[in-house]
Amino acid sequence: MSGPILELVNVTAHYGRIQALKGISLRAMPGEIVTIIGANGAGKSSTLMTICNVLRASSGDVRFEGRSVLPLSPDRLPPMGLCQVPEGRRIFPRLTVSENLDMGAFFRKDHEAIRRDKDMVYDLFPVLKERRRQPGGTLSGGEQQMLAIGRALMSRPKALLLDEPSLGLAPLIVKQIFAIIKRINEENRTTILLVEQNANLALQLATRGYVLETGKVVLEDDARALLGNPEIRKAYLGE
């Protein structure tokens, strides 16, 4: 595929009368890690929710592999290869770790490949294999984040949307999860769109980045250039 795998074209979205997105345009090429940074309330999570049709776009277009996904219901997107790990993990607390992973492959019928993919998730996250018979709700915050990512991987995503994967986690666990995100991208060539409060970490991991302010893209650049930008360092990196 030569064009973007994921593209937003002048997208607006509202919560009632409040406009959350004011003409967002961004793209992610196959195999890229693209990050969206910005202050709280800038529209980062709203962008991901609009891509997945959880929040309906008011105007503009969202295209996945060149096709508009706006007419589709959210449950139609994972079978196409577009999957989100939402903020707050949203695992099934009463289901076991193994059952949570099975839910990620609920639309698939290739049982042998599902078994191999589950082994792949256990290879990425050995602690999940140890805890596979435990209810998801008994896991630590970091383990639940690993489970949420693992469940998304069971859908075999071509593009993976990650919403605040480091939120509320200890620095050591954050480091582990970011190393695994990098590995998923490199080994599977999975395109990743990352919304992350830790702008420094996100820009170190990403290929390119977008800066959002009050529902608008105010800057787009190579991630390394954004890391070296004095204004970005002052506004988002605490310098």
Helices 111-124 and 141-153, packing angle to 10 deg: 150
For the chain, helix (H) and strand (E) counts, in that order, are 10, 10
Spell out the domain ranges in the chain: 6-91+157-236
Q: What are phi and psi of 11, to 5 degrees?
A: -85, 130
Phi/psi zone of residue 212: left (φ > 0), alpha (ψ -120 to 50 degrees), beta? beta
**180-228 per-position pLDDT tens digit:** 999 999 988 999 999 988 899 999 999 999 999 999 999 999 999 999 9
Q: Are 204 and 227 in contact (CB under 8 A)?
A: yes
Residue 82: per-residue pLDDT? 96
Residue 167: per-residue pLDDT? 85
Q: What is the mean pLDDT of residues 114-139?
A: 93
Residue 78: per-residue pLDDT? 93
217 is written with which tokens? 């893209």
Q: Are 73 and 53 in contact (CB under 8 A)?
A: yes
Residue 239: per-residue pLDDT? 64
**65-120 per-position pLDDT tens digit:** 999 999 999 999 999 999 999 887 789 999 999 999 999 998 988 999 999 999 99
User: Chain centroid to CA 92: how far?
Assistant: 18
**89-98 per-position pLDDT tens digit:** 789 999 999 9
CB atoms under 10 Å from CB of 124, counted, come to 17
Q: CA-to-CA distance for 184 and 229, rounded, in angstroms?
A: 28
Q: What CATH code is assigned to 6-91+157-236? A: 3.40.50.300
